[in-house]
Amino acid sequence: MQSKLEYRNNRLKHNKITFNQQPIMGFIQEWFGFNGWKELSARGSIVATIFYRVFFAVGLGVAIIAYSFISGGEDPSLLYIAIVGIVWFLIYQFLINLIFVNGSRYS
């Protein structure tokens, strides 16, 4: 026969309420991290993943051409190309995370 303590512990073990606790992301990781790509890979198709990557490359090219045009048609230096690339990357990561992680469509 079980003691009262064993019986209570056994009941608590089976009646335990568990919560799905996901780690809380920081602001930068939430909006500019790679979680959008993880969600896209998990939920989206391969064609969608390829489309978003091609769109990133095309957008990067457009951003560099636009910067060159705005700066007077001169060829931008490597430093400015890198800055434009980083800014475009952050904007693109924000959009991907907005669509696949923080948007209401997938919540």
The number of CA neighbours under 13 Å toward the Cβ of 51 is 7
Please indicate, yes or no, if residue 15 is contained in any of the structural domains: no
Number of structural domains (the chain) is 1
Please indicate, yes or no, if residue 10 is contained in any of the structural domains: no
**22-53 residue pLDDT tens:** 566 676 776 677 777 777 777 767 888 888 88
pTM beyond 0.75, yes or no: no
pLDDT band at 107 (very low <50, low <70, confident <90, very high): very low
Please give the backbone phi and psi of residue 23, each rounded to the nearest 5 degrees, phi first: -65, 140
Please indicate, yes or no, if residue 86 is contained in any of the structural domains: yes
In sequence order, the 6+-apart residues with CB closer than 8 A to the CB of 96 are 36, 37, 40, 52
Please indicate, yes or no, if residue 13 is contained in any of the structural domains: no
Please indicate, yes or no, if residue 81 is contained in any of the structural domains: yes
Burial of 77 (0-12, 13-18, 19+ CB in 10 A): exposed
**5-28 residue pLDDT tens:** 666 666 555 555 555 555 666 767
Please indicate, yes or no, if residue 9 is contained in any of the structural domains: no
